[in-house]
Chain A
């Protein structure tokens, strides 16, 4: 039987995400991330904080393989991504759920089809996932809007739809870039509880946010970026430097 290199590498590592002296820049511009070193243990829950332009979105992009580091090593599920074959990247991405800052909903698909997208791409059959997706959409408050197209949804509805799409296939890592920026306080708490629930089920969570109040009330550890450097983090939690 052939050995799955991703699974094998992950089993040999204690961290699902590992950055070692990672720097990143766009084109020939200045470094937006500088010598970032950290690791995320499986099942951990962290916030990623920092002012606008601190590099939060860039750091998330490196994790979900939408950008390349200019320096340093990144290990994902124990796999050195710089040396991982390109053909393995789709498999790695399927294990990561992302709530993009600009949501990236597909306007020609209904809310249901948007939410079901990761399952369809992974080869799921509509008959198999229809019930789960409908249930999830109902849970995020979009039960009555399943056949609506994104342009007809309100800002908060779009955000909840993006979250549903990110979590629908029970990813091992969930990355969220300002997931509660367009929702009211109650919905923000509800979304946070969804993340906590997923975390309980074993997912590693990393949420980039400006919401210091949410971070403080959650009691969860945070990574703090300032000028592209990982300058501070909460003392508690399983983060390793």
Chain B
């Protein structure tokens, strides 16, 4: 093909130089920020799943502590409580625990005891609740009282409140971390845009004096930095995905700790990272470039 008709040579070159010496450092910084944002996201998703699992478990069960009255054995009191509770609406199953099972619950605090029967361990009734319309603690308490059973119903509401509060605190903290990271990424890109405009001052000046509109010149920087941020976002997301994969492979579905169970599907949450990074960079670059170019008038 003759030189004149070499299409590649006739294709218009970009208005701004494609390779910027600062790109490497900028990609690294934005990639690190994206990695941190992605890891934060994965952590929150895992913590939220753990909290949801615990909440589901706790809200589906209740524990009843039975105190035998005069003339009644602990076993018969527990059996009567279980029978009473089984008839309450919203209760799936009520089962009196064997003394050994109750002892197992306090073993971590008491250690091994030779004669379990001598211990004044209260009898417990484990109650499974209907997940759709669970019985409330006051309803169960009232039913037991009506049958003359002295018992305390623990529906785990205290723990549930704590777990839900912790989960919502984690979500709030994650949102703050996200905003901080996005702000930091925006500031880095704004700084890079300033540096880019300074480095490309002659190009900007020529475009400006040749009749290019401010928004057109700003859009060139916007596209350039959005592209750089998208690449950095992809690198950061891949790094976070690798971290998540390692956690999943090392710890199974429970991750490295039951508090942070990792699922393969969680990695899908990293997909928007390059787009979000590009969006933040585009806005930061455009606003900065327009302000600086306006100052040239």
Query: Do A121 and B13 touch across chains, with their CB atoms under 8 A apart?
Result: no
B203 at interface (Cβ–Cβ under 8 A)? yes
B216 at interface (Cβ–Cβ under 8 A)? yes
From DSSP, what is the main secondary structure of chain A's interface residues?
helix
A110 surroundings in chain B (CB, below 8 A): 9, 13
For B3, the closest partner residue in chain A by CB is: A147
B214 surroundings in chain A (CB, below 8 A): 90
A106 at interface (Cβ–Cβ under 8 A)? yes
Instruction: Name A148-170 residues within 8 Å CB distance of B.
Output: 165
Query: Do B203 and A106 touch across chains, with their CB atoms under 8 A apart?
Result: yes
Cα separation A122 to B216 with both chains bound (whole Å) = 11
A104 surroundings in chain B (CB, below 8 A): 202, 205-206, 209
A71 at interface (Cβ–Cβ under 8 A)? no
Which one of A91-99, A188-196, A219-227 is at the B interface? A91-99
Query: Do B210 and A117 touch across chains, with their CB atoms under 8 A apart?
Result: yes
Cα separation A121 to B211 with both chains bound (whole Å) = 7
B117 at interface (Cβ–Cβ under 8 A)? no
Query: Do B206 and A64 touch across chains, with their CB atoms under 8 A apart?
Result: no
**Nearest CB of A to B293, in Å:** 11
Cα separation A90 to B213 with both chains bound (whole Å) = 6
With A86-B297, A104-B202 as contacts: A98 and B13 at CB distance below 8 Å = no
- Which of A90, A113, A130, A147 contacts B211, CB < 8 Å? A90
A1 at interface (Cβ–Cβ under 8 A)? no
With A86-B297, A108-B13, A113-B13 as contacts: A118 and B202 at CB distance below 8 Å = no
**Nearest CB of B to A118, in Å:** 5
Instruction: Name B24-69 residues within 8 Å CB distance of A.
Output: none
A147 surroundings in chain B (CB, below 8 A): 3, 9
A185 at interface (Cβ–Cβ under 8 A)? no
A98 surroundings in chain B (CB, below 8 A): 209
For A118, the closest partner residue in chain B by CB is: B210
User: How many B residues touch the partner, as a band?
Assistant: 20 to 34
Cα separation A89 to B216 with both chains bound (whole Å) = 14
**Nearest CB of B to A124, in Å:** 10
A126 at interface (Cβ–Cβ under 8 A)? yes
Instruction: Name B254-285 residues within 8 Å CB distance of A.
Output: none
Cα separation A90 to B208 with both chains bound (whole Å) = 8
Query: Do B10 and A108 touch across chains, with their CB atoms under 8 A apart?
Result: no
Cα separation A121 to B208 with both chains bound (whole Å) = 10
Query: Do A118 and B13 touch across chains, with their CB atoms under 8 A apart?
Result: no
Query: Do A89 and B10 touch across chains, with their CB atoms under 8 A apart?
Result: no
Cα separation A104 to B211 with both chains bound (whole Å) = 15
B294 surroundings in chain A (CB, below 8 A): 86
B13 surroundings in chain A (CB, below 8 A): 108-110, 113
B102 at interface (Cβ–Cβ under 8 A)? no
A91 surroundings in chain B (CB, below 8 A): 211
One digit per residue, 1 when the CB lies within 8 angstroms of any chain B CB and 0 when it does not, for chain A 110-137 equals 1011001110111000100010000000
- Which of B10, B18, B205, B207 contacts A121, CB < 8 Å? B207
Cα separation A159 to B237 with both chains bound (whole Å) = 49
A120 surroundings in chain B (CB, below 8 A): 12, 15
A93 surroundings in chain B (CB, below 8 A): 208-211
Cα separation A63 to B202 with both chains bound (whole Å) = 19
A94 surroundings in chain B (CB, below 8 A): 210-211
With A89-B297, A104-B202, A106-B202 as contacts: A64 and B207 at CB distance below 8 Å = no
Cα separation A122 to B212 with both chains bound (whole Å) = 8
Query: Do A130 and B10 touch across chains, with their CB atoms under 8 A apart?
Result: yes
Query: Which residue among B11, B18, B213 has the maximum number of chain A CB atoms within 10 Å of its CB?
Result: B213
With A108-B17, A121-B216 as contacts: A116 and B12 at CB distance below 8 Å = yes
**Nearest CB of B to A135, in Å:** 13
Query: Do A64 and B203 touch across chains, with their CB atoms under 8 A apart?
Result: no
B205 surroundings in chain A (CB, below 8 A): 104
For A98, the closest partner residue in chain B by CB is: B209
**Nearest CB of B to A3, in Å:** 20
B213 surroundings in chain A (CB, below 8 A): 87, 90
Chain A residues within CB distance 8 Å of chain B:
64-66, 86-87, 89-91, 93-94, 98, 104, 106, 108-110, 112-113, 116-118, 120-122, 126, 130, 147, 165
Question: Please, could you name 15 A-B residue pairs with CB atoms under 8 Å apart, sorted by A?
Answer: A65-B209, A87-B213, A90-B211, A90-B213, A93-B209, A94-B211, A104-B202, A104-B209, A113-B12, A117-B207, A118-B211, A121-B216, A126-B10, A126-B11, A147-B3
